[in-house]
Structures are given as structure tokens and as C-alpha cells.
């Protein structure tokens, strides 16, 4: 994601705030987006062994070979491989994106991620909760409200100290415009001003997804790395 895309994202958020000003927050389906609503479920599902391999590809083999793996089934994520190093690898689907992301319902989205133990305890539940709501047929607006209520009732865990993850898969499909982007690590924090990490500033190697417009009160810091999980160099044109 380059800075221009970040600027576009910020502008989009601003426009959405203006449109929604004074009214209850709703997420009316936009017929102009390429993915205005959820596609049939089977478009989001994968062949199981392919999904296991894709999930593990998020991190170097030295980490992912001993990780727990979960795959998406008709009724949610299911554990298909027990782990022994505390990491959990899953393939996230598009609905883990920010609510205002035009690719929120993109059935091609495949975002492999290997979460370390603190993230598996505190971030994975957010993935599972969103997925549970999607598979229960909840609309975006309902999901937003359900998640907000769950946060308010403290049903979702707070981010743990040291929660981080690997997203270094060469086979990821993160967006239509830039499917693989860069291999990167992510660090999870409670809702934080990105400036506190020097993120998104000129010359900084750190980017941030500020969660202030999402129901989950977290900020995600991204730092690209130079190699895919298989050790090959990430080309500069990957962005």
C-alpha cells in the first residue's frame, strides 16, 4: 500500500463520516462498489489441504511447521492441525478488512497470517467473531453493532503485550489492486495514535491501520520486510 492509497483511504473515511453525520451509523450497500454484498459462501471456501498450505505460508517454515492451523468451514474456523509453538496460522477472508474497505466482501480475498501466542489469544478472537457473524448472515451494519456491543461488554479480549504476526505469504491475495503487496510483519496495540510510533510519517518504515473507525479498539502497525516466507526476495514492484 503506497502513500497515495493511504491518502485515498483517509479521504474515503472522511467522506463516509460526512455522509453519515447526524445519523446512526449505517453501512448501506453501495451498488457502485464491485462487491456490494456477500457472495455465496462457497466462493470464500477452499479445498482443505490447499488452505492448510496457504495458512502456513504466512511465516517462514521454521515457525509455521509447528503452528496450529485452522481452516474455514461452513460454520466457522476449525482446527485441523494442533500446534506446539504457540503460533496459530489461518487464512483470513476479506471481511477482516476495515468496514469501509471496498473489498470487504471480495470473495477472492485470501490473507494468510501466523499469529504469535499473545496475538492468538487476543487478536484471533476478533477474526473468529467477525467470521461467526458473517456466517450467521449478519449484515455489515449488524456486524458493526454486534462487535461494538461485544467490545462494550468486554466479551473480546484486550490486546496482549507483545502481540504480533507474520504475513509473508507469496500466495496472498490482499486486494484487487495489489494482491500480494509486500511481505510484512504486524504489531497489534490498543487504540494508539499512529504518531506514537512515528508511523505514516515521511521516511518512516512503519505504516498503521488506525482502528478508530472500526468497532474493535486496536491499531495495527505494519512493517514490510524484504523476503517472502520461502526466503525469496520480494520484488520492488510488489506494491
Partner 1 sequence: MNRKMAKTIALAAFAVAVVLGTWQARALDAKTPYPNMAPLDQYLIADRSVEIVLARSAAPPSISRDAKVVVLGPHGYETAVEGKNGFVCIVERAWMNPFDSPEFWNPKNRSPICLNPPAARTVLPLTLMRTKLILAGKSKDEVKQSIRAAIEKKELPELEPGAMSYMMSKDAYLTDRGGHNMAHLMFYTPLMDGAAWGANLVDSSNNVSVPFPGSPLLLAPLFKGNPEPIDVFLMGTGMWSDGTAAPVM
Task: Give the residues lining the site for partner 1 (CB under 8 A).
Answer: 1-3, 59-63, 85-87, 116-118, 159, 161-162, 164, 166, 182, 185, 187, 189-190, 192, 195-198, 201-207, 223-227, 229-231, 233-234, 236-239
Q: Which is nearer to partner 1, 60 or 107 (CB)?
A: 60
Q: Which is nearer to partner 1, 15 or 195 (CB)?
A: 195
Q: Which is nearer to partner 1, 87 or 209 (CB)?
A: 87
**Least distance in angstroms from the C-beta of 1 to partner 1:** 8
CA angle 77, 80, 86 (to 5 degrees): 90
**Least distance in angstroms from the C-beta of 16 to partner 1:** 24
Match 476479506 to its residue by C-alpha cell. Answer: 94
Q: Which is nearer to partner 1, 35 or 188 (CB)?
A: 188
Q: How many helices (H) and strands (E) does the chain have?
A: 6, 8
CA-based torsion, 73, 78, 80, 83: positive or negative: positive
**Least distance in angstroms from the C-beta of 162 to partner 1:** 4
Would you say how long the chain is, in residues?
239
Distance, CA of 57 to CA of 168 (rounded, Å): 7
Q: Residue 219: phi, psi to the nearest 5?
A: -120, 135
Question: Which of 162, 155, 100, 152 has the alpha carbon at shortest distance from 132?
Answer: 155
Q: Which is nearer to partner 1, 92 or 219 (CB)?
A: 219
**Least distance in angstroms from the C-beta of 187 to partner 1:** 7
Distance, CA of 11 to CA of 17 (rounded, Å): 10
**Least distance in angstroms from the C-beta of 212 to partner 1:** 16
**Least distance in angstroms from the C-beta of 101 to partner 1:** 19
Q: Which is nearer to partner 1, 116 or 175 (CB)?
A: 116
Q: Which residues pair with 222 in a beta bridge?
A: 186, 207
Chain Cα centroid distance, residue 82: 22
Provide CB contacts within 8 A for 210, sequence distance 6+.
191, 193, 194, 219
Q: Which residues pair with 186 in a beta bridge?
A: 165, 222
**Least distance in angstroms from the C-beta of 123 to partner 1:** 14
Q: Which is nearer to partner 1, 107 or 118 (CB)?
A: 118
Amino acid at each position: 500500500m503506497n502513500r497515495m492509497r493511504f491518502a485515498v483511504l483517509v479521504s474515503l473515511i472522511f467522506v463516509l463520516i460526512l455522509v453519515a453525520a447526524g445519523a446512526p451509523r449505517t453501512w448501506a450497500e453501495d451498488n457502485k462498489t464491485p462487491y456490494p454484498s456477500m457472495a455465496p459462501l462457497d466462493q470464500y471456501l477452499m479445498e482443505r489441504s490447499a488452505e492448510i498450505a496457504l495458512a502456513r505460508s504466512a511465516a517462514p517454515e521454521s515457525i509455521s511447521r509447528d503452528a496450529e492451523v485452522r481452516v474455514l468451514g461452513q460454520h466457522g474456523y476449525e482446527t485441523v492441525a494442533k500446534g506446539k509453538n504457540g503460533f496459530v496460522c489461518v487464512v483470513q477472508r476479506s471481511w477482516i478488512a476495515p468496514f469501509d474497505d471496498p473489498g470487504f466482501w471480495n470473495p477472492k480475498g485470501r490473507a494468510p497470517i501466523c499469529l504469535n501466542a499473545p496475538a492468538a489469544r487476543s487478536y484471533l478472537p476478533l477474526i473468529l467473531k467477525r467470521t461467526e457473524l458473517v456466517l450467521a448472515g449478519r449484515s455489515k451494519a449488524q456486524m458493526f453493532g454486534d462487535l461494538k456491543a461485544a467490545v462494550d461488554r468486554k466479551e473480546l479480549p484486550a490486546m496482549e503485550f507483545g502481540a504480533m504476526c507474520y504475513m509473508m505469504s507469496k500466495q496472498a491475495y490482499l486486494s484487487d489492486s495489489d494482491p500480494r503487496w509486500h511481505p510484512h510483519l504486524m504489531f497489534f496495540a490498543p487504540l494508539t495514535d499512529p504518531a506514537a510510533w512515528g508511523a505514516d510519517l515521511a521516511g518512516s518504515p512503519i505504516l498503521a491501520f488506525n482502528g478508530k473507525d472500526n468497532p474493535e479498539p486496536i491499531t495495527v502497525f505494519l512493517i514490510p520486510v524484504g523476503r517472502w516466507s520461502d526466503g525469496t526476495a520480494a520484488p520492488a514492484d510488489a506494491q
